[in-house]
Amino acid sequence: MPQGKPAVVPDDGLTTRQRRHRPLVIVHTGEMKGKSTAAFGLALRGWSQGWSIGVFQFVKSAKWKVGEEAALRRLGRLHEETGEGGAVEWNKMGEGWSWVRKKGTEEDHAAAALEGWREIGRRLRDERHGLYILDEFNYPMHWGWVDVDEVISTLRDRPGRQHVVITGRHAPDALVDAADLVVNMTKVKHPMDAGQKGQRGIEW
Amino acid sequence: MPQGKPAVVPDDGLTTRQRRHRPLVIVHTGEMKGKSTAAFGLALRGWSQGWSIGVFQFVKSAKWKVGEEAALRRLGRLHEETGEGGAVEWNKMGEGWSWVRKKGTEEDHAAAALEGWREIGRRLRDERHGLYILDEFNYPMHWGWVDVDEVISTLRDRPGRQHVVITGRHAPDALVDAADLVVNMTKVKHPMDAGQKGQRGIEW
């Protein structure tokens, strides 16, 4: 709630304004839907602010989530054509990035994920984007493909005003400790429980 | 997960395909961020499917959430101009709709919310939209301004293929029972706890 009052005013030497504008590391985790969609909802806010949006999809099969990709890419083209909003750059495994040169072994996927993360690290140091969405990035950390401590130190040392959203189940404890905002999407009820499978427009 | 297997196959006389395409009532509740942003992420998927998106904001002060409004409205104008994606119609208290003729008393707000809900009911009967986002609509039900049983019966009897997403804290139990998919956004950590107030691009 924007009108909320902070629970504490920390003794950190910052003014309220400086503290307000500190860039955030946000984690969306938990078993339920909403982790990625909430990240893409934030992308709409960032786009409207004119921020460069960098999306990095760490999913095995990037054929899903085509709906948000098409819409956000379209907003990115609008920016190129008219200057409205911000730029949108969409990177996913198996396309553009060199992540997946050949399909197959877990070693390939692990190396590809690490390479993807290293690219993100370079961009953070170069202040390339205003908002980074690392979609499903909790998995490669959870599986040990990408070192969590390296991620945390890179995020901690990033310059300027760069917000980072990381989604996926199994957020590592150390990442949760290091993040500013962590949401757990918990299940109350899912259509799958009633025998209904995913459908277009809702799941992708 | 689109590739998931249903836990049960119900004896409902439907084929898997028919069951898959049943329209959903989705509820995003809980104390944490992500309820509205996840709904707007779904709007991106719906827009890409060419669905008409109807957004109805039941918030006292509709000056917030301007970022997603600007971006989704822009996608709606794109649809008008080029035929891409779906239509976007954005309705909020204090603008367009007759909800808030005069600011002031709780009675005014209650009457305005009820009037807004009745308009949504008419649109559902007319099959006006493919996706309805009833943003913060749990509050007027929680406060008793809108009758939950009326909402549930209207949703249950809606014709065609119309998905409905309802957001806000304090989702009524009866609505949770009636919904197909319910997510609780629970707090693990919020910047407010560390004295940081909301900021542009993140909260709005």
In a domain, B1, yes or no: no
Has residue B21 been placed in a domain?
A: no
Q: How many CB pairs under 8 A join A and B?
A: 263
Residues of chain B found within 8 Å of residue A37, distances taken between Cβ atoms? 37-42, 44-45
Residue A64, pLDDT score: 62
In angstroms, the separation between the Cα of residue B97 and the nearest Cα of chain A is 24
**Does B18 reside within a domain?**
no
- CATH code (residue B97): 3.40.50.300
Predicted confidence (pLDDT) per residue in A88-97, tens digit: 999 986 444 4
Residue A54, in any domain of the structure:
yes
pLDDT digits (tens, 9 = 90+) for B32-74: 999 999 999 999 999 999 999 999 998 755 556 689 999 999 9
B25 three-class SS:
strand
Residue A58 in any domain: the answer is: yes
Containing H/E element for B122? Answer: helix B106-126
The ipTM estimated for the assembled molecules is 0.86
Interface touch A34/B201, C-beta < 8 Å: no
Pairing mode of beta strands A181-189, B181-189: antiparallel
**pLDDT tens track for B111-129:** 888 989 999 999 999 999 9
Pairing of strands A53-57, A131-135: parallel
Contact between chains at A45 and B201 (C-beta distance less than 8 A): yes
Contact A99, A116 (CB under 8 A): yes
Name beta bridge partners: A165: A26, A133
End-to-end CA distance of chain A: 29
Judge whether B180 and A198 are in contact, CB under 8 Å. Answer: no
- pLDDT beyond 90 at A44: yes
Cβ contact B40–A41 (<8 Å)? yes
Is B7 domain-assigned?
no
- Total domains, chain B: 1
Q: What is the DSSP letter of B196?
A: P
Nearest residue to B37 via CA among A46, A50, A24, A189: A46
Q: Which of A12, A25, A44, A203 to mutate to test the interface with B (most CBs of B within 10 A)?
A: A44
pLDDT at position A81: 96
Strand order in the sheet with B25-29: A88-92, A53-57, A131-135, A163-167, A25-29, A181-189, B181-189, B25-29, B163-167, B131-135, B53-57, B88-92
A166 located within any domain: yes
Pull the structure tokens for residue A1: 């709630």
Residues of chain B contacting residue A202, judged by C-beta atoms under 8 Å apart: 24, 26, 42, 45, 163
Q: Is the pLDDT of residue A21 over 80?
A: no
B97 within domain boundaries: yes
- Pick the range with the lowest mean pLDDT from A102-106, A178-182, B188-192: A102-106
Read off the pLDDT of residues A176-187 as tens digits, 9 standing for 90 and up: 999 999 999 999
**Domain extent at residue A168:** 23-186
